[in-house]
Structures are given as structure tokens and as C-alpha cells.
Amino acid sequence: MLFWVIALVLLPIVLGTPGSPSEYFDVLGTGRREWRLAFRGSAHVGTSAFWAYKDGTNCPKVVPKPCTNLDFKWPCHHHYRNSDALDNWSNVQEVLLAVVAGGKLVKIIRFSGQGTNYLNWFGQDKYLDSSWGDIGSVHKNFFSIYGDNRLHRRFFINQQYGGCDKDTGWLVCVDTPHPACPWEKRGAFPLFLYAGGHNRETWSQRNVKSADAIIVFLRYTPSPAEPELLFDILGSGRADWRLAFRATAHVGASAYHAYLDAKNAPTLTQRACKTLDFGKPCASHYRNSAILDNWSNIHEVLVAVVDYGKIVKKARFRGKGTTYLSWFGRHEYLDSSWTDLVKEKTNFFSIRADDRNFRRFFINHLYAGCAKDIGWLVVAENLRPRCSWEKNGEIPVIKYATGHTKENWTYGKVKFADAILIFVKVFPPRGFPEEYFDVLGSGTRDWRLAFRGTASVGKSLFLAYLDGRGIPAVVKPACKNLDFKWPCDSHYRNSHALDNWSNIQEVLVAIVDDGVVVKTIRFSGRRSTFLNWFGAHFILESPWADLRKVKQNFFSIRGDDINHRRFFINNQYAGCEKDIGWLVVVERSRCPWEKDAHTPIIKYAAGQTRENWTKGQFRNADAILVFLKYPPGPGLPEEYFDVLECGLKEWRLAFRGTAGVGTSVYDAYVEGKNVPALVQPACKTMNWNQPCHSHYRNSDALDNWFNVHEVLLGVVDGGSLVKIVRFDGHYTTFVNWFDQGRYLKSSWSDLFLQETNFFSLAGDPYESRRFFMSFTSDACAKASGWLVAVDALKPKGCAWEKTGKFPILKYAAGPKLARWASEKARDADAIVVFIKYAK
């Protein structure tokens, strides 16, 4: 049975938005398909555009595709009304009217959709901006969809009537076969006329153009992001797999290109595309860009084939050291439902695979002519398939071998699947809970197992520690825990722990003999590497009383290279019979005292002091284990501050955005762009009165976002922290914590009570307003909110955004929201982000 739980990991995905993904378009070239096509009025079709818009009169039930998309090179001879959009008008944030002429958009007008219905949005009071520079400043006698009812001039924006020769305006739909003035008589109705320049025109003049169509688009207020679902795909009882991608069969769009780039994936997807609820419809691919575009720290990848509402095949791959394209291949393959895949040769095993035949996510055994092709899995995307076995309706066609082995694609046991899903398991920065043990009997599982070297297994312990050489891909569970009564026949290397060695507080070496830990040595891990911590200058505590008093000729992991003695703590060489020391891993025998077992031999002084290797009290151990202990909170002590003045330095400074430094605060936060390698000390402290001329990004804190309890955002002005907002940090990412749904408390008393039109780090990308907590942004004079970072070099919006060098950090100075253009909104010096970790 597949279990799933909700983890509150919010991703930048718009959910719960009406309509089908195919109705949405990237009208403004922002890279986001966020505008829903609600209406198209086509010129010269002989039926009223107004009545088609109002109630669908004379709109055919089925219209050709060119009427419902932005491919203007193909003709459309009908009006198109998206009745679901217009008849269920709600939660509309903006409306955009576009004028089409000569196969392209030539003019646009944007309106606020808040508080409107499908008829009254087209008016002066809702106008935001347009291709005509003078609309906002000139008096008009008509500005509405109804327009001039007597003369049937609809969608009419007009300045004045002065007789036919002097009528002046911007846009009109002449919606009658019997127009009144000569300038309206340019062919069959409806006729769409528009001012061809940047300002209004007299309708009878030559710079008035005739358009092919007008189109109405809607952009909805983003819904609060749903929690990302985590899944227990393998039935382990723990939901730790994140869905990264879904390729859906027969949706008419390339799965490969959707996987490659977010621009080719739909922005809006049905909820069923992001869950394991296979009984619900999913009519598109789904791309979790937060995972695929930030591929890092991946432990494993799993491919699942879905058919008849259930997962029928699985394949697991190693994720460590891969990219989002390279993991799907022979070298990273672990296991699958096909038992022969591990040993059979393949001519294709990759995501890109066969370019010539457009066969993707392709695991194939051989080509021998279409009738003899043999393989395991394919996503076929050729619009003109070469072989009959890949023909099954619209692309993509997903086909798989239903048995336990490869099959002939034409005659074998193969079926067409509904979807393939790609899941990833991500390493927590400090590992999984099962990696931790209570080694010293303190009652706390605070030691992470990083390595086990096992005696007499015939493989180099040193090389196993160094880079994993000689360690099988799958080791026995007993090699990864402290249950020493069960056999372990190999070394074990926790590569994630050793290869990401950072912020180590202590290291502990445990020597295991006869099923128990008999000796432990503790080392400081601060400012160490995974190779140099094992040395005299790092030692904290030892079971040998003389170890810190007596000189050593060897004390290192590499030890004696010539004699291959590793993890070697030795006092002196004086000939084999007089060699004295404490601990050694023998990997090549030279002296008699090294020749009493198969290598590697782990030898230790069994008493309280050093011993003679030949005559002393030495025993051969079963294993040597290395454990790591991390500080209670990540980072260095100097990164923590007593922000709330409660006597505890528990808040870690993660980011500072500085006003007026001339570089984007948002780009600095998200990816560290234009943040100097060395910043002034004041940028990293709470010494607000000292100069700081750059942003500061604590990349360790932001890029290793883990175990975060709370996040605090502060506003700095006049040398002090003047405003704070606190957020719940549980199950967040470094970008989604800034959300009204995670709000805890703040200096603004009304922030919890008021609805917001923007509340996110990304804010309003169109206007480059980031870290944006906004109540309304309808019109410049009335725009209001609590906090905004104006993040554009040349803001295209309002005068209040142009008060200094960017970024401009503005905040409501009082206890409640303020209009940005008023004196109650002030310019801040900086915004700062602090993290508090869970205990």
C-alpha cells in the first residue's frame, strides 16, 4: 500500500486555478503561462462581438484551434467565448485586452480585476496601463464595454464627439452592419479600429488602423500554495520521496521538453498530476521546478510506471554526484522490477536517448529492425513514428515491458502506460535519523556513523575511508548500526557525511572487539577536514592515560605509507620487536606482529597505556568505527544574535539586503548574485550604525535550510531595528517561509487581519516589487501595504518607487498599513533575515 503524508514544504506553484492548462498563455513574455484566454472577438465575421461576449450569441459550440490560442498566422472566422471564465468571474486580479493585427499583438491595455464583474472591468476606474501613453490623463466621453449603445460602438474608449470628421479616441468595436460615420465603413462588421500611434487619434485620420481581433485575458489572484506531498513509494513506513516530474501519456506535448525546461511545462496543473490519486484526471505533464532546477543533495531517484490507476514498475537510481539529466543511466542504476536489467547490455539508457527517433527515457536492449526491437521502457514522441509498435494516438506514447525481463516491442509482453513519475529522495544536510546512535550511553542519539572499517575482509580500509573503493553498492544492515552480533563482511562509508564535512563539533573513534565497544577516542572536529582530525593536536579524550604525555612518531589516518599502517598511533620504531604504540590498521604485513590474521588487521593496546607490538597486551579488534557529532545549531557562534533582547543568542543572521547599493536584493537572496566575496563586518552584525555598502548572504544558512523553527524578518532604519515579522519555519524552504499562512506575529497590528494581494519573497515580478506585503496595488495614489523592496533600476510604475537609488526598501512606519505615497511610509536602510533552529 502506498502511504502519503503532507509535509508543509511550499513550492512556487500556482494551485487551484480555474480552467484547463491549455487555456493559459505567456502573453507578456515573462516566462509564465498565467493569462487565461476568456474571449476573442474576430473582425468581419458578420455577427455581433458584443453579444458574443455578453452571452455567447452566435458563438459555435466547437471553434477551430486558431480561435483559442495565440497562433495568429492561422485564420479564425468565429468569435470565441470561454463561458466558464466569464460566467464564473471571481478572484480575478487583472484583465488584459489585446489588439491583434498582422499576425501579432500590437496594443495591450491592463485593468485591475479586483471587485469587478465580467462587464464592468473595462473602465477608467480600473485602468492600470496601456500601449497608449495619454489614456490615463485625458477626459473621455466613453470608456466601457457597452460604449455608445445607440451607435453600436462597443469596447469603446473615446475622447470626444465633434461630428464624424472630428471624433477622437483610442479603441472601438463597430458592431453594426449599418454604421453612422464614413470612418466606420471599412468592410463587414464587426470592425475593430485602434489608434496606431502612442496617443489618441481622430478616427477619420490615416493613423487609425483596422485590427483582426481583440482578445480578453484574465489573471487570477494566486491561491495560497498547497503543501507539497511526500510519499512512501517503497512501503518503508516513512514518506520521504518527493515528486519531481510526471510525464502523462497522449497529452499532445513533449514530455522530454517539459522535463528539460520550465518554459515548456504548463504553469498550471491539475492537482491529480501532483499526487498518487490516479483515479482523478490529469491532462498535462507536471514539472516540480524547485527540484529539477536546484538539483543538489539528491540521495536516490525512483522512476515509477503507472498503468490502470496503479504503479506497476519501479526502477531506482543513485542520485549522489548526478545532475538532473545524468542520473538516468547504467552507471547510476541500483535495481528495478526488471530482474535482467542489471546484467543485459543496452544500446540506449538515458533521458535524451534516441534523438533521431524521438525516443526518450529510453531503456533499450537492441535495434534489429522494427519487428525485432527489444527493450524495457520508452517514451515515444515522434509525430511521425517510424515503427508500428510506437503508434498509439497523440504523443507521448509510454510503453513498458510488463514482465520481469526485456521484451520485443512488437510481439512481446508490452503495454502502453498512462504515465511515468520521477521521485527523488533528498539527503537532509545532517543525514537521516537512523544514522545516529547513543554511543556513550548518554541517553541522546547524537553521534552520526560516518565510517566502519571491518577486519579481515581483504579490502583496503584506508582506501574505503578515502573514497569508498572496495565497498559494495549495497552493504549489510549490520555494517551500518551498532548491532554487533550480526555479521558484517565489508567496510561501510557514509559518503554524504564524509564528503560534506563541515561544522563538525567532535569526532569519536570506537574500537569493537568481541561484539562490544572496548575503546573510544574523542577528537575536536572544529576547523578540521575528513582526513586531518585524527591527530595529536585535535585529541580531547583517550582511553590510554599516557597518550597525551608521550611523543608519537605517527598519529594520522594515512599513517606509515611505506609499511601501509593506517589509523596509526605509534610511539616509536626500534626494529620490529621493539616497536611500541597504541593503535594500528595493518594493510600489508612486514613484521611478525602483523602476520597473525587476514588484512586488514585492526590492532589495539588492551591496557591503559602504550604497549610493545610484539610482547605487549595487544588484541585484534573486529572493527573500527568513526562517528561525528554536530553543534546544537548550524553555523559559527559569531553568526548568532540576541535579536529580541531576551538574553539568548539564538537567532542566526542569514541575510541582509541593503538599500541603495545598486544591485538586486532579490537576486542576492535567491542565488547570491553580486554579493561580494568579502563584505564589511557591519553587514554581518547588528551594529546598524556602522557602514555597510553591499548585501550579505549567509550561503551556509540559506543553502542548507534544515530544522528551522522560526524565521524573523527585520526592518532597519536610523540605526535600529524598527519592525519585525516572525514566521513559522517548520517544513519550509528558504524561499517559501515568507507567506501569510506562516505568519506568527509582527510589529503591525493589522497584518494578521487584512487580506493581501501580495505576500511573498517573489512579490510582483512584473513591477519588480520583492519581499512584498501589499494590501492593494491598484493605482499609484492608493497603493498600500506594509513592506516592499523596489528592486528595479528604473521602476516602471509609481512616483513613490523613484525616491532614491535602488533597491528602495519601503515600510509602513506606524502600527498599521500605509499608503506608499504617504508620509506614513518610510524608506528603510536594510532588511534582515534571521533563523532560529529547532532544539
pLDDT tens per residue, range 594-633: 987 799 999 999 999 999 999 999 999 999 999 999 876 6
What does the block give as the cell for 311? 504503479
Per-residue pLDDT at 569? 98
**Greater confidence, 774 or 1?**
774
Q: Which long-range contacts (CB under 8 A, 24 or more apart) does 806-811 make?
A: 806/660, 806/662, 807/657, 807/659, 807/660, 807/661, 807/663, 807/664, 807/665, 807/770, 808/659, 808/660, 809/657, 809/659, 809/665, 809/715, 809/771, 811/715, 811/717, 811/722, 811/723, 811/786, 811/787
> What is the chain's length?
839
Q: What whole-number distance in Å separates Cα of residue 365 and Cα of residue 338?
A: 13
Q: What whole-number distance in Å separates Cα of residue 444 and Cα of residue 436?
A: 9
Per-residue pLDDT at 837? 86
**Greater confidence, 740 or 8?**
740
pLDDT in tens, 400-441: 999 999 999 999 999 999 999 999 987 766 777 788 999 999
Q: How much of the chain is helix, strand and coil, in % rounded to 5? A: 15, 35, 50
How distant, in Å, are the alpha carbons of 11, 564, 742, 743 from that of 752?
Answer: 22, 66, 10, 7
| pLDDT at residue 239 is higher than 90 | no
What's the pLDDT band for 222 if we cut at 50, 70, 90? low
R_g of the chain, CA atoms, integer Å:
34
Per-residue pLDDT at 5? 34
**Greater confidence, 645 or 239?**
645
For the ranges 62-66, 137-141, 519-523, 527-531, the one whose mean pLDDT is highest: 519-523
| pLDDT at residue 264 is higher than 70 | no
SS (H, E, C) 113-130: CCCCCCCCCCCHHHEEEE
Q: Which long-range contacts (CB under 8 A, 24 or more apart) does 108-115 make?
A: 108/27, 108/28, 109/135, 109/157, 109/171, 112/778, 112/779, 113/218, 113/219, 114/221, 114/757, 114/776, 114/778
Average pLDDT over residues 461-486: 93
Percent with pLDDT over 90 in the chain: 67
| pLDDT at residue 198 is higher than 50 | yes
For the ranges 449-453, 671-675, 797-801, 833-837, the one whose mean pLDDT is highest: 449-453
What does the block give as the cell for 284? 498535462
Show me where the domains of the chain are located.
21-220, 227-426, 433-629, 637-837
Q: Give the H or E element holding residue 759.
A: strand 758-760
Beta strand pairing status for 506-513 and 696-697? unpaired
| pLDDT at residue 158 is higher than 80 | yes
What's the pLDDT band for 558 if we cut at 50, 70, 90? very high
pLDDT in tens, 814-828: 999 999 999 999 999
Average pLDDT over residues 472-489: 92
Average pLDDT over residues 146-152: 95
**Greater confidence, 265 or 469?**
469
What's the pLDDT band for 541 if we cut at 50, 70, 90? very high
What pTM did the predictor assign?
0.45
Per-residue pLDDT at 561? 94
| pLDDT at residue 1 is higher than 60 | no
| pLDDT at residue 551 is higher than 60 | yes
CB neighbours of 37 closer than 8 A, spacing ≥ 6?
A: 23, 24, 25, 68, 69, 80, 82, 85, 215, 216, 217
User: What one-letter code names the amino acid at 6?
Assistant: I
The 8-class DSSP code of residue 517 comes to E
| pLDDT at residue 10 is higher than 70 | no
How distant, in Å, are the alpha carbons of 496, 553, 566, 573, 781 from that of 556?
Answer: 22, 10, 7, 16, 70
Per-residue pLDDT at 429? 66
For the ranges 468-477, 613-622, 626-635, 728-737, the one whose mean pLDDT is highest: 613-622
8 A C-beta contact, residue 173 and residue 214:
yes
Q: Give the H or E element holding residue 52.
A: helix 49-55
| pLDDT at residue 3 is higher than 50 | no
Mean pLDDT of all residues in the chain?
90
Average pLDDT over residues 489-505: 89
Lowest-confidence segment of 131-140, 460-469, 551-560 by average pLDDT: 131-140
| pLDDT at residue 8 is higher than 50 | no
| pLDDT at residue 705 is higher than 50 | yes
| pLDDT at residue 637 is higher than 80 | no
Beta strand pairing status for 640-641 and 241-248? unpaired
Q: What whole-number distance in Å separates Cα of residue 523 and Cα of residue 501?
A: 15
Per-residue pLDDT at 271? 77
Per-residue pLDDT at 446? 86
| pLDDT at residue 583 is higher than 80 | yes
Per-residue pLDDT at 516? 95
Average pLDDT over residues 348-362: 96
Q: Which of 702, 565, 583 is nearest to 634 (CA)?
A: 702
Average pLDDT over residues 389-393: 94
Strand partners, 161: none
Average pLDDT over residues 6-32: 61
